[in-house]
Amino acid sequence: MKALKIVIIILVVLIAIILIPPLFMPSQMFIERSAVLKAQPEVIWDQVNCLKNWEKWDVWHQDTNLVGSYEGHECGEGAKNIWNYKDREEGGSQTIVEVRKYEYIKTLLDFQEMGTADAEMMLEKVEEGTKVTWNLRSDSPYPLMRWVHTLMVVPNVKKSYDEGLVNLNELTKDMKLEPKYETGEITEKEVTSFNALVIRTKCTMEEMGDKMGQVMGALMAYSGKLGIQMTGPPFSIWYEWESDVFEFDSGIPVPGKIIGKGEIKSIETYGGKVLHVTHTGSYESTHYSWEALNEHQEKNNLETNGDPWEVYITNPMAEPDQTKWVTELYLPVK
């Protein structure tokens, strides 16, 4: 009997040790780590918004015992990463469920029998670069999971988050922002000449934005004074672009031949065969589409037949998102 009592006491003590401490443990696990990264939010964004890129910096994705695959969108809301272990029949998934561009990402983590969790990553622009805050939140059922979370999950996640943020900083600190653009289909077509008012400009790349703005303002003021309406979007004809100084006409289409004044000249544009492509993106990224146009010309042995020009379809004042700006590119050919 004495031995039985000792066994019972030991069992009661063990049960108490297992059951009582979890009463004082949180019913929800919450882990949050943060670090200031040197890169700007726009540079860091693709590395966190595209789940495939997590393989470059996230400690979890670098576990050689995992086999991963991807479903849904490549980036953003709906992107999904699925993983399985090589040595056991377990796995899980991570799905992006909410994004605010350059600011916030929320993912849902499904650990199958181990439950689910929500993870958030916040990007805040600061003077030194970007403050990245990364958290994980999951329910802690009483009593076993509270022990598991407290003794195993919390310290491991803190360590992996800290290492992941260090890796992310190393990856992005010298990374250049890739321009977002799209080059449409290149086609051969015939265009009709039109009348226009233009101003010739010579300037550096750094001066170009201000110069174009001044020129367009002068042209609009002159046409308004004459009571003339533009018959199409503004454009630029390029004469010199190989050196540090660019030379070009900036102009507006007008109805018929209008007499210019001073630096404002009246011209009739090219008419005939051209190579044409639609570029979507910032003005700084149009050179990628020009390169594609020139490669097409060389590949098809087409001879240049005049000066190239751009037509600016999107009004930057009405659309602040430069990735949505549309520019039509034209290259005269024989």
By the 8 A CB rule, do 325 and 216 touch?
no
**Do 307 and 288 share a structural domain?**
yes
Stated pTM of the model:
0.62
Give the domain-ending residue among 139, 172, 205. Answer: 172
Query: Is 4 inside any structural domain?
Result: no
Going residue by residue through the chain, which has 334 residues, state the pLDDT in tens, using 9 for 90 and above.
677 677 666 776 677 677 778 788 889 999 999 999 999 999 999 999 999 999 999 998 888 888 889 999 889 999 999 999 888 888 999 999 999 999 999 999 999 988 999 999 999 999 999 999 999 999 999 998 888 888 999 999 999 999 999 999 999 999 988 788 999 999 999 999 999 999 999 999 889 989 999 999 999 999 999 999 999 999 999 999 877 899 999 999 999 999 999 999 999 999 999 999 999 999 989 999 999 999 999 999 999 999 999 999 999 989 988 999 999 999 999 9
Question: Are residues 145 and 253 both part of a single domain?
Answer: no
317 burial via Cβ count (<10 Å: 0-12, 13-18, 19+)? exposed
DSSP at 51: G
- 306 shares its domain with 328: yes
Both structure tokens of 282: 């910032």
> Which CATH number fits the domain that encloses residue 330?
3.20.80.10
- Tally of domains in the chain: 3
Domain limits for position 44 = 23-172
Quote the CA–CA distance of 68 and 82 in Å, as a whole number: 6
Where is the domain boundary, 268, 286, 316? 268
Question: Is 286 part of a structural domain of the chain?
Answer: yes
Same-domain pairing of 185 and 320: yes
* 316 and 202 in a common domain: no
29 and 152 housed in the same domain? yes
